[in-house]
Amino acid sequence: MPTRLFHVDSFTSQMFAGNPAGVAFASPDLADDVRLSIAAELNLSETAFPTARPDGTWDLRWFTPTVEVDLCGHATLATAHVMFEDGIADGDTITFHTRSGELHCTSTDSGITMDFPTAPVKVCEPAPGLEDALGIQAHKYGIGETFALVEVDSVDAVANLSPDLGALREIDISAVIVTASGDVDDGEADFVSRVFGPRIGVPEDPVTGSAHCLLGPWWSGPLGKTTMLAHQVSARGGHLWVGCHDDRVILTGQAVTVFETQLPL
């Protein structure tokens, strides 16, 4: 059967902003190397592959142009957006089975909410060479299963960051989050961030839902808030609401379909 392929901008209410993702409704028998080839052809930070289960729930996998990843927020949002908009979803909530457990996406008046697991962060010393590669000094540093997290002293330092991506690729970390409290240009966000992952084929990710599974708990205590507005200050930029509840993070955002096509696969 042909693969229905969507290009969706996530964490934005308008086209050509936020984080673009591919969503491919393919045969469950499609080989992994073909899935990876589709992701490489699109050359977006992630392409999602949802597959229906007989019980009405869905399997969901995500591929960068070079590897399969355990969790991706913006491509999950893109998938749920397409399913709600196209009438594929049965009801207001979709259950996805993933390598990170069950994820639930619900359509609301303010967007789509995604129920994700929190990602623990261990505070430690920065990885050797990381500060030099980023060209910045860490105020505080932590490491999670997938991301390193670098807190710096100012939002301007995050916004103006120009890392050495070649040097960053040589450090044994899948991706690096750089963050600070406050917002640029007197905005309303509680904290800002940027995310770099050249080691997994993503030089800079425009808006990274999964990074906020670390950022939410990281900032919730110091800011004294359980619900925060986050601003990822990449060139495309994007906003999302982040709620922290026990061992779960609730991410809320919007998405826009840019185009749909088919592949003869």
Beta bridge partners of 243: 227, 250
38 and 82 assigned to the same domain: yes
DSSP symbol at 247: T
134 and 152 assigned to the same domain: yes
3-state class (DSSP) for residue 127: coil
129 and 80 assigned to the same domain: no
88 and 131 assigned to the same domain: no
3-state class (DSSP) for residue 8: strand
User: Is 216 within 8 Å of 228 (Cβ atoms)?
Assistant: yes
241 and 132 assigned to the same domain: yes
pLDDT score for 181: 98
105 and 158 assigned to the same domain: no
Side-chain half-sphere exposure of 199, counting CA atoms within 13 A: 16
- Give the C-alpha distances (Å, rounded to integers) separating 237 from 22, 88, 89, 217: 18, 29, 28, 22
Q: Which residues are catalytic?
A: 46
User: Is 196 within 8 Å of 209 (Cβ atoms)?
Assistant: no
37 and 13 assigned to the same domain: yes
78 and 146 assigned to the same domain: no
pLDDT score for 1: 74
**Token pair for residue 94?**
């979709």
**Token pair for residue 26?**
């393919």
- Candidates 117, 113, 72; CA nearest to 254 is 113
User: Is 3 within 8 Å of 30 (Cβ atoms)?
Assistant: yes
136 and 47 assigned to the same domain: no
Mean pLDDT by 10 residues, the chain (265 residues): 94 95 97 98 97 97 96 97 96 97 96 95 96 96 96 97 97 96 97 97 95 97 98 95 95 97 94
- Which amino acid is residue 236, in one-letter code? R
The count of domains in the chain is: 2
**Token pair for residue 45?**
């930070």
- Write 246-250 long-range contacts (CB < 8 A, 24+): 247/117, 247/118, 248/115, 248/116, 248/117, 248/118, 249/116, 249/117, 249/118, 249/212, 249/213, 249/216, 249/217, 250/113, 250/114, 250/115, 250/116
196 and 219 assigned to the same domain: yes
10 and 77 assigned to the same domain: yes
pLDDT score for 162: 97
185: left (phi over 0), alpha (psi -120 to 50) or beta: left
Domain interval for residue 11: 3-115+251-263
Side-chain half-sphere exposure of 242, counting CA atoms within 13 A: 29
3-state class (DSSP) for residue 145: coil
CATH number at residue 100: 3.10.310.10
Helices (H) and strands (E) in the chain, counts: 6, 18
18: left (phi over 0), alpha (psi -120 to 50) or beta: left
What is the C-alpha separation between 153 and 150, in angstroms, rounded?
A: 10
**Token pair for residue 54?**
């007989």
141 and 182 assigned to the same domain: yes
